[in-house]
Structure 1
Amino acid sequence: MGKKERAQERREQRRQQISLLRTIPYSDQQRWWSNETIAVVTGSNRGIGFEIAHQLASHGLTVVLTSRETRVGEEATKIMQEKGLNVVFHQLDIVDPASVETFSDWIKENYGGLDILINNAGVNFNFGTDNSVEYAETVIQTNYFGTKSMTKAMIPLMRPSPFGARIVNVTSRLGRLNGRRNRIANVSLRQQLEDVDSLSEELIDSTVNSFLEQVKNGTWESGGWPQVFTDYSLSKLAANAYTRLMARILSDQPEGQKIYMNCYCPGWVKTAMTDWAGHTSPEVAADTAVWLALTSDQFVSGKFFAERREINF
């Protein structure tokens, strides 16, 4: 058996393991949710987001499916509603402040708030060996600033609960601080971003803004940035860092108003974002997000996961 075949066999074994995990009911946990539990999934009209929404709704939650485009969002919602799932739609563009505000007002008026937020909406314009930064500003604005904007808008609307509200950010291993191959070359900057006690929103913002400035003046290639899918990797690194920062800040919430925030890498998934070149199905990729959203372990916060296993930032 060749190297390629062995790798494929390992992936298949892991896929089977994850499929088995998905069949394990949540009866070994305290089932804290009901059909009155409100879960919002951004960018959920297709791909991983659609499957996250589908799995959450299949567990009996009320799911708000969102999409930038109303027509495709309504079509995706109809598919789930025809299965008897409690899914509703609302338009949402996370990079449009007016859209986020309208959505926030709607959630508050119709449900009084939410219990779970899955920040899934994201973009990537590179495929295969491409590493263009032509759309770097759009990538950073969506994957980092959009995620941050949505998080800030939803935190005040998180409903009190003895089990805590949940925020799950869909990020990537490409955004790891200390990955062996795809990392920021500036050791001092990496150390600052790694130190959660001194980590700040200003530091994260200045890091991505420095990159964008170098993109504009044409010096980014010598800036020591990640070498694979540079703009996407940096946007996910920023989202990972923001997850750690907010988890630390939110840890000071009083009992009954706790909010637990984590992020996870879904893997290389067969979706439009990868030009259907991935090796993981959306069903398997969604599993860890759903697991993090529903776990009864209230001590899990500020962590990074892949395939239900914690990995290093």
Structure 2
Amino acid sequence: MGNKEKAKERRENRLQQIRLLRTIPYSDHQRWWSKETVAVVTGGNRGIGFEICRQLAAHGLTVILTSRDATAGVESIKVLKEDGLDLIYHQLDIEDSSSINQFVKWLQENYGGLDILVNNAGVNFNLGSDNSVENAHKVVKTNYYGTKSMIEAMIPLLKPSTVGAHIVNVSSRLGRLNGRRNRISNVALWEKLSDVESLSEELIDNTLCTFLQQVEDGSWTSGGWPQNYTDYSLSKLAVNAFTRLMARKLSERPVGQKVCINCYCPGWVKTALTGYAGNNSVEEGADSGVWLSLLSDESTTGKFFAERREINF
């Protein structure tokens, strides 16, 4: 059996374990949440976001499904309600600061804040073996800066909790610094981004700014950037880096006001984002996001997961 076959077998075995775990209900001592626990999910009208909303609602939380397209969001709520699930909808464009501000005001007035934030909204314009950076600005603006804006806007609204409030960022293995493939070949930049103690917003922003400038002048192919899904990979690398940075900053909060922030890779999922060419179902892709949202261990923060297992950045 070759390495690819072995890897495929390991992945399938792990997915079978997770399918079994999902059939086991949470025990009373694990269920720290209730109907008063508020979870906000961005990009919840389809794909992984929709499934995360469905699973969290099935666990008995108050789930606020958000989407940029209000019509699509309302239709998604109707589908879930037909399945006997009760969710709330609110329009939210994570690229638009005024939309975020309106959402913040509405959330505070109606729910007093939130307990869980799942940053799922994202875009990708490359399918198959394509690697165009024509939409690089849009990809970076949505996937990184939109996610960053949501985190910054929601942190003041996170409710105190004995298990810590939760932020879950949907990311990708394509954005790993230490992946065997698709990694940054600029050694100096790689070392800077790898050092969590010296990691800063300025470094992350400058990295993206340099990449986008090179996209504009056509020199990006020799810039040492990831060679596959380059713009998407860079946007998720930035999400991963920001997750580590915020975990470091938020760790200074006192007991009762802790915030657990983690990211995870859902795998290659059969959704519109992948042109429905993925290997995993949406249920499998959503699983680790839901699992992280419901963890009761506040010490689990600043980490990267896939299939309920920690992987390196």
Q: TM-score, normalised by structure 1?
A: 0.97
Offset, 1:39: 0.1
Distance across 2 between alignment mates of 1:9 and 1:88:
40
Corresponding residue for residue 242 of structure 1: 242
Corresponding residue for residue 306 of structure 1: 306
SS in 1 for 2:237: helix
Amino acid at match of 1:133: V
Query: What are the superposed Cα offsets for residues 266-297 of structure 1, whole Å, 9 maximum, x if unpaired?
Result: 00000000000001000011110111110111
Amino acid at match of 1:155: I
SS in 1 for 2:117: strand
Corresponding residue for residue 185 of structure 1: 185
Question: Structure 1 residues 251, 2: CA separation in 2 closer, same or farther (over 3 Å shift)?
Answer: closer
* Unaligned runs of at least 5 residues, structure 1: none
SS in 1 for 2:31: coil
Equivalences, count: 313
SS in 2 for 1:36: coil
SS in 2 for 1:117: strand
Q: What's the RMSD between the two structures over aligned residues?
A: 1.5
In the alignment, does 2:136 pair up with 1:136? yes
Corresponding residue for residue 43 of structure 2: 43
Distance across 2 between alignment mates of 1:3 and 1:169:
30
Offset, 1:84: 2.8
Question: Structure 1 residues 99, 25: CA separation in 2 closer, same or farther (over 3 Å shift)?
Answer: same
Distance across 2 between alignment mates of 1:68 and 1:271:
17
Corresponding residue for residue 174 of structure 1: 174
Question: Structure 1 residues 147, 86: CA separation in 2 closer, same or farther (over 3 Å shift)?
Answer: same
Amino acid at match of 2:126: N
Distance across 2 between alignment mates of 1:130 and 1:155:
37
Question: Structure 1 residues 164, 43: CA separation in 2 closer, same or farther (over 3 Å shift)?
Answer: same
Corresponding residue for residue 297 of structure 1: 297
Amino acid at match of 1:183: R
Corresponding residue for residue 31 of structure 1: 31
Corresponding residue for residue 19 of structure 1: 19
Offset, 1:28: 7.3
Offset, 1:9: 5.1
SS in 1 for 2:252: coil
Query: What are the superposed Cα offsets for residues 41-90 of structure 1, whole Å, 9 maximum, x if unpaired?
Result: 00010000000010000000000001111111001011112233231000
Offset, 1:4: 7.6
SS in 2 for 1:178: coil
Question: Structure 1 residues 9, 176: CA separation in 2 closer, same or farther (over 3 Å shift)?
Answer: closer
Corresponding residue for residue 195 of structure 2: 195
SS in 2 for 1:64: strand
Corresponding residue for residue 88 of structure 2: 88
**Alpha carbons 2:38, 2:61 under 8 Å: kept:** yes
Distance across 1 between alignment mates of 2:210 and 2:6:
42
Corresponding residue for residue 101 of structure 2: 101
Corresponding residue for residue 150 of structure 2: 150
Offset, 1:7: 6.3
Offset, 1:25: 2.0
**Alpha carbons 2:259, 2:298 under 8 Å: kept:** no
* Unaligned runs of at least 5 residues, structure 2: none
Amino acid at match of 1:70: A
Segments of 4+ moved more than 6 angstroms: 1-7
Moved more, 196-205 or 73-82: 73-82
Distance across 2 between alignment mates of 1:132 and 1:28:
49
Distance across 1 between alignment mates of 2:213 and 2:276:
32
Query: What are the superposed Cα offsets for residues 233-277 of structure 1, whole Å, 9 maximum, x if unpaired?
Result: 000000000000001100011111111100000000000000000
Distance across 2 between alignment mates of 1:247 and 1:142:
21
Offset, 1:13: 3.2
Question: Structure 1 residues 22, 104: CA separation in 2 closer, same or farther (over 3 Å shift)?
Answer: same
**Alpha carbons 2:166, 2:261 under 8 Å: kept:** yes
Distance across 2 between alignment mates of 1:302 and 1:218:
35
Offset, 1:8: 5.7
Q: TM-score, normalised by structure 2?
A: 0.97
SS in 1 for 2:310: strand
SS in 1 for 2:90: strand
Moved more, 73-82 or 264-273: 73-82
In the alignment, does 2:261 pair up with 1:261? yes
Question: Structure 1 residues 280, 28: CA separation in 2 closer, same or farther (over 3 Å shift)?
Answer: farther
Distance across 2 between alignment mates of 1:106 and 1:72:
20
Distance across 1 between alignment mates of 2:174 and 2:7:
20
Amino acid at match of 2:95: V
SS in 1 for 2:169: strand
